[in-house]
């Protein structure tokens, strides 16, 4: 019985230590979510304006033939940028992104394309390395706090491969979009070749009916398109960073609640074992006393 009590005490101590760790992780994630959301919101106006500018150039200079806006004939390769995290403890955040990337891979392969993954985050890199899959590029170390320089490096690698005759013919991004503290959705977007979506214009987003280009529309587009790709990737990284912290907070809160519930059950079990041990000791004492009394009565 004493061995069982010692075992229960050790388990309670271990679960209590785990609960402290998960609670600390929950508080850290909660403090980082606010900053991640602020950075995400600050980047949205830039992405919106550069998208508006690129749309305006393409719409007003339809004759411009740029490698990043023209779909290649008979495409054979597709590059997929998969955004994952560097660390774990974030529930199904990485699993959901990788599952969606696999679904996209199957769709592209059904079109006869060879898929080349470009991966950010140690979890995604490890997942592909374990399965022996070659990657066109890998970047780690900034999933929680991405900088624009990171997005620029990734964009340059993808654009160089897209411009190469033997490189990729399409570029897709698989990332997690932050909706709210409780909801994060995995989204798939095609970045290149550029697709200009026709939307109903508002006063804030309306494109002027005429542009004057200096020096030429092609030169303006040559400068804008790399910035456009960089902004799309940077926004995806920021959205993913905020989603990662929200997913980690939710996962750590769940782990803390489970640990507290387990401690309650183990404590109850330990108390029952202690009561049983005390009852047994009392029974042994009473039994011994009765035996002594019977012995004394027999001598008389």
Query: Could you give phi then psi for residue 174, rounded to 5 degrees?
Result: -115, 115
Question: What's residue 208's pLDDT?
Answer: 52
User: Does residue 205 have a pLDDT over 50?
Assistant: no
Residues 291 and 71: their CA atoms lie apart, in Å, by 99
When pLDDT is cut at 50, 70 and 90, the band that residue 220 belongs to is confident
The C-alpha angle 82, 124, 188, rounded to 5 degrees, equals: 20
- pTM listed for this prediction: 0.81
Residues 222 and 197: their CA atoms lie apart, in Å, by 20
Question: Residue 27's CB: how many other CB atoms inside 10 A?
Answer: 13
Name the average pLDDT for the chain: 84
The pLDDT tens digits of the residues spanning 155-203 come to: 999 999 988 888 898 999 999 999 988 889 999 999 888 765 544 444 4
Question: What's residue 211's pLDDT?
Answer: 64
Q: What residues does 83 pair with on adjacent strands?
A: 120
């Amino acid at each position: 019985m004493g061995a069982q009590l010692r075992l229960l005490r050790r388990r309670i101590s271990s679960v209590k230590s785990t609960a402290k760790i998960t609670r600390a992780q929950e508080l850290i994630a909660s403090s980082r979510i606010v900053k991640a959301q602020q950075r995400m919101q600050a980047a949205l106006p830039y992405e919106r304006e550069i998208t508006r500018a690129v749309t305006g150039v393409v719409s007003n200079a339809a004759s411009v033939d740029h490698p990043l806006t023209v779909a290649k004939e008979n495409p054979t390769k597709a590059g997929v940028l998969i955004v994952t995290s560097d660390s774990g403890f974030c529930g199904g955040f990485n699993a959901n992104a990788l599952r969606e990337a696999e679904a996209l891979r199957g769709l592209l392969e059904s079109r006869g394309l060879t898929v080349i993954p470009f991966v950010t985050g140690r979890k995604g890199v490890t997942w592909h390395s374990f399965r022996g899959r070659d990657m066109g590029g890998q970047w780690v170390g900034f999933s929680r706090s991405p900088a624009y320089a990171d997005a620029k490096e990734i964009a340059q690698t993808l654009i160089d491969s897209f411009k190469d005759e033997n490189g990729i013919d399409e570029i897709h991004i698989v990332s997690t979009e932050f909706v709210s503290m409780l909801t994060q959705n995995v989204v798939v977007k095609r970045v290149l070749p550029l697709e200009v979506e026709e939307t109903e214009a508002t006063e804030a987003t309306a494109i002027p009916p005429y542009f004057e280009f200096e020096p030429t529309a092609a030169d303006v587009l040559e400068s804008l398109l790399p910035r456009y790709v960089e902004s799309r990737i940077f926004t995806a990284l920021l959205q993913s960073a905020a989603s990662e912290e929200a997913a980690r907070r939710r996962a750590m809160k769940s782990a803390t609640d489970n640990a507290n519930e387990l401690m309650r059950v183990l404590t109850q079990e330990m108390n029952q074992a202690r009561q049983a041990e005390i009852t047994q000791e009392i029974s042994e004492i009473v039994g011994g006393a009765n035996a002594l009394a019977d012995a004394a009565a027999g001598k008389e």
